[in-house]
Chains A and B, each alone.
Chain A
């Protein structure tokens, strides 16, 4: 187990690929398309997001504070949309089906129930 490598730097390197504004913008648009369907370009969120990205592009200053703030905010919104979607997917997958039969439960963790030739006493 790599005890010496900080967890954060591993995750940071995974996130560095995400952190450019273009990627964040694309990510948000993907999420909006997942929400709204093909007409996502007409949605309120799409217009607002594109507006914000355009506005924050025009500044020439490199360490503009407003730009940093907008970038963090866009990253946060992308995280919100993606996490909500993933959480819902997992919820529907594991928690949304109500009572499962023993066979289904076993298959969830990759096991199979043993078959008993002749059936159990109460089965036909």
Chain B
């Protein structure tokens, strides 16, 4: 039984983990571990439930056993909504466990384990570096249809973020990208600092998925929905699809995967950053 849990932990992934396995082990062990990792884990539990510990944190129970992270820690989340969403992911598994569909679980594991040992400052710096090659700011010169599409769809979002955060970003068609003034970076750095570590983990995940800080902030600030943000992120692909046709096993597959990951990231940020106290109106009591 213990061996089951240990093997399970090594397979539920972290969002940013590398496959360190083969580098550290000898060849035969590596092969055995790889085949164990790709062999499908069967669903070994009947019921999924949540429970609250004394510290106010929530845990996930698979039958009687408490869920652990791949790093061996007890899996705990700060609020009930996130716990329920994670429990639903585990409950959604049928005969085999498909970890690549369990995005919220993966994000929680990353936040809890922090396998790459990053600090808030490192994450903020990495996120701000993304701004220099932000999808929204990087324009093409041709074809004309795409240039116009980028202008029509992306400019409004740029205007929104410049107004919302009182910054200058701009766009550029040169290979170097736009010049981002230091004041802009400082303002955004201050804003990113206001997020806690969990929330920042989610936000960084969204930024790497959408390849854009502007779209990520637009979505987190609820100016864009997930579908809109994904559409804007994939604007060039959408343009090409309209010209040359859609290939379901590539285009739709990528789109749904991006939507799922982005939605998970957005939900993760929202659930870990705001307090979930219910504000009752006096009259309604």
Q: Which residues of A contact B (CB under 8 A)?
A: 1, 3-4, 6-8, 11-12, 15, 32, 35-36, 43-45, 48, 55, 58-60, 66, 68-69, 72-73, 75-77, 79-80, 83-84, 86-88, 90-91, 93-95, 108
Verify B88–A43 contact, CB threshold 8 A.
yes
26 contacts between A and B (CB under 8 A): A1-B243, A3-B148, A6-B149, A7-B231, A15-B228, A36-B91, A44-B50, A45-B88, A72-B225, A73-B267, A75-B226, A76-B270, A77-B85, A79-B260, A80-B263, A80-B264, A80-B267, A84-B101, A84-B103, A86-B252, A86-B256, A87-B253, A87-B260, A93-B249, A95-B249, A108-B249
Contacts known (A43-B91, A94-B249); A11 close to B227, Cβ less than 8 A: yes
Which residue of chain A lies nearest to B285 when distances are taken between CB atoms in the complex?
A: A58
Interface residues as binary, B99-127 with A (CB distance below 8 Å gives 1, 0 otherwise): 00101100000000000000000000000
Tell which of A44, A77, A87, A108 touches B256, judged by Cβ atoms closer than 8 Å.
A87
Most chain A CB atoms below 10 A, which of B243, B252, B253, B284: B253
Interface residues on B, range: 35 or more
Q: Which residues of B contact A93 (CB under 8 A)?
A: 249
Report the bound CA distance from A102 to B266 in whole Å.
42
Q: How close is B95's CB to chain A, nearest CB, in angstroms?
A: 12
Report the bound CA distance from A43 to B88 in whole Å.
8
Interface residues of B in 16-53 (CB under 8 A from A): 49-50
Verify B249–A90 contact, CB threshold 8 A.
yes
B3 within 8 A of partner (CB): no
Verify A59–B103 contact, CB threshold 8 A.
no
Contacts known (A59-B281, A69-B274); A45 close to B266, Cβ less than 8 A: no
Report the bound CA distance from A48 to B85 in whole Å.
10
Report the bound CA distance from A58 to B283 in whole Å.
10
